[in-house]
Structures are given as structure tokens and as C-alpha cells.
Amino acid sequence: MPVEMRMWRIDGDEPKPLTTSVLPAEKDLHEFLKRDPSLLGERLLVIGSEVITPYGPRLDLLAIDAEGNLNLLELKRDKTPREVVAQVLDYGSWASTLSREDVIDIATKHLDQPFEAAFEDVFGSAPPDELNGDLRLTIVAAELDASSERIVNYLRDFGVPVNAVFFSYLEDDDRRYLARSWLAASDEDALAAPSLSKKSKKAQWNGIDWYVSYGGHRVWEDGRTFNFISAGAGKFYSQTIRSLPEGARVWVNVPGTGFVAVGRTLGPAARFETAEVLINGEWTPLADKPLATDYAFAVADLHDDDAEWVVPVEWLDARPQGEAFWEKGMFASQHSACKLRQEFTLERLADHFDIDEGE
């Protein structure tokens, strides 16, 4: 059966039906969603409006969610059920092949700020490394007919990630309301559209750059002065710092402050009590240095997972914490160390620290 939305206002003991009206123009839905895509029930960032595709027609709206998945929104307007479904499937076949670079390029043309900064404004974090891992297709309509409902449900049964949402426009004296109803309650059971291309949807790693978080009870001036980075006091933190290879280029971020240094690792991670650092050309035990924090947590009888691990570094540029650099949209992670893939962050760090990205 076609979906129907009705609403009543309760006056005393009597329900009064609200009048279902027609939107002044279905294009209003386009503008409503463009300004506030959360009308669909989740946070989304619109990265394209009237998006030009290689096949002629323009996609009404292209949005992205917090996981980096694309959401295609196509308004039914005056199309027949077969036309609108064929159109959204055509767009889906195109969008499923978009690489990470393609997505960012589309967003850059639409947004008035860098994609990474806009993403952080909406979701509170930098974009994930992988974009367009999954895809959702949504038909938007002012009303939904039985034929459209039947076709969409049939496609969903075969795992096509398509849904339909319709908006009812209601009036109550001088008040106006917009009510939303989804054809299917959730897309969770729908299979992701198969990949039709080998284009990379994940940021490529250059094999050189690593992100390092230097925080907690650690004092950055220790690392800066005595040429090391460290992490530990738990498996989540120790296992990633121990994965740093010798010769890696590390970009050091003090959480909540910004990036303070770039350098190259001189050896593998070692437990604090045995770690040595290179000072003025000589290797010397770190534990012998006048550190600002006493590393009382780094005791010999701790399991490796709970110990403090130290990596010796040759700084290419290391600055006081008061000169930390940060720009909205830059990459950050709770991991002590991880591969740094995000081009936005790498470009800005290389420029700020005057480092050749290819070094």
C-alpha cells in the first residue's frame, strides 16, 4: 500500500485532523534538505547540489555521513516510478566508482571551505581515511505511490541499498508543518552496492609519514629536549608506538594543542628503563636525564603491554608547545602512532614546518 501520513491536533477531548496540503513547489524539498539534511534523521554533510554526472542528468543532492559513506538524494518531482528508480540506480552505478579524490573534488567545488574543515564542523572530527566505502540511494518525494513502493521493496530484497522517504506538508491555522516518513525503517539489512571500480576509496599511504600523539602525563619539553617520543601504560597505547619502524618520519601532535614537531626515528621502541637517546652524537640512557616527569609508572616488573615505550628521534623541526600548529579539519587519533594518510594534514604540515613532502 502507498504510504500515507496523517496528523491530528488534540483540542480537549477531540482530535482535529490537520490539513494535508501541497508544497508550494517540490523544489522546496531540495532547498530544505540542502540547508538541513538532518531532516532525513541523521547528521549529513551535503557536498554537492545539482551534481553534474558524465551521463547528462544532474544528481539533486550528494551527501556524506560520519563514516565517510555517500548518500545520494534524488527528488521524484514529475517522474514516473520507473523513471525515478532508473535515474537513482544510474546515479548509484556512477557514484559507486568514485575514488576518495573524486569525492573531495566534488566537495571542494560545492563547499565554501576545505572539505576536511566542513566535515569537522558537522561531525566533530577529521574525515576517515576511507571515503565512499558504502553507498545509500534515497528517493525523496512529496508523496509515494504504490508502484514506487513496490519497486523499491523489490530492489531492497535483492540487497540494493535504496530507500524512499516522503514528506507531508500540513497546515494548522497559521502554522505549517513538515512530516517525514521512511518507506523502510532502516537500511541496516541492505547490502552495500558492489564495487564497480578499483579506484582507491581510501587515502593512499606514502610509506613515509606517521602520526604520533604525545600526551597524557608526558611533558613535551622532555621529548623535544632529549630527542624522543613515548607512549604506553596500556596495550592500546603501547602496541601502536611499538609498530613504528626505524627511519619513519613522524609528525608529533600534543592532543588538544596541535602539532609541535617532525622528525625521523633512529631505532625501534624500547622500554623506558632500557631506552637510549642520541644527544650531541652520543647514545645515553634516557632514565639518567633530568626529565620533567619522573615516569614512576615505568617500572621493571610491568608487563610489556603496560610499560612505557620510548622511540629515539632526530628532530627535523621541534618547537615549544606554545608554538603548536593546528587547523580545523586536520587529522588526529587516539592511537599513539598510526600511518598518516590524510593529504589535507600532510600538505599543511609540510608547508608550516617547511618540509618537502617527498623527503
One DSSP character per residue, 202-254 reads BPPP-SSEEEEE--TT--HHHHHHHTEEEEESSHHHHHHHTTPPTT-EEEEEE
Instruction: Give the DSSP letter of residue 26.
Output: T
CATH 3.10.590 fits 209-352, yes or no: yes
Beta bridge partners of 36: none
Q: Which three cell numbers stand for residue 147?
A: 508502484
- What is the β-pairing status of strands 228-232 and 308-318? antiparallel
CA gap 226, 41 in Å, rounded: 51
pLDDT tens digits in sequence order for the chain, 359 residues long: 445 566 777 777 778 777 666 665 667 788 888 888 888 878 899 999 989 888 767 889 999 998 899 999 988 766 767 788 888 899 999 999 999 999 999 999 999 999 999 999 888 888 888 888 889 999 888 776 778 788 888 888 888 888 888 777 777 777 777 777 777 765 444 444 444 444 556 677 888 899 999 988 889 999 999 999 998 887 878 888 988 888 899 999 999 999 999 999 999 999 998 999 999 999 999 988 998 887 666 565 677 788 889 999 999 999 999 999 999 999 998 889 999 988 999 999 999 999 876 55
Look at the block and give the residue holding cell 601504560. Answer: 233
Those residues whose C-beta lies under 8 Å from the C-beta of residue 265, and which sit 6 or more positions away, are 244, 245, 246, 247, 248, 250, 311, 312, 313
With b for 16 or more beta-carbon neighbours within 10 A and e for fewer, the 38-60 pattern comes to: ebbeeebbbbbbebeeeeeeebb
Region(s) of the chain under CATH 3.10.590: 209-352
Give CATH 3.40.1350.10 domain extents, the chain: 19-182
For the stretch 113-159, pLDDT in tens is 999 999 998 888 888 888 888 899 998 887 767 787 888 888 888 88
Note the CATH number of domain 19-182.
3.40.1350.10
Helix or strand holding residue 127 (H, E): none
Name the one residue in this structure whose C-alpha cell is 627535523: 316
Spatial contact of 212 and 250, defined as CB atoms under 8 Å apart = yes
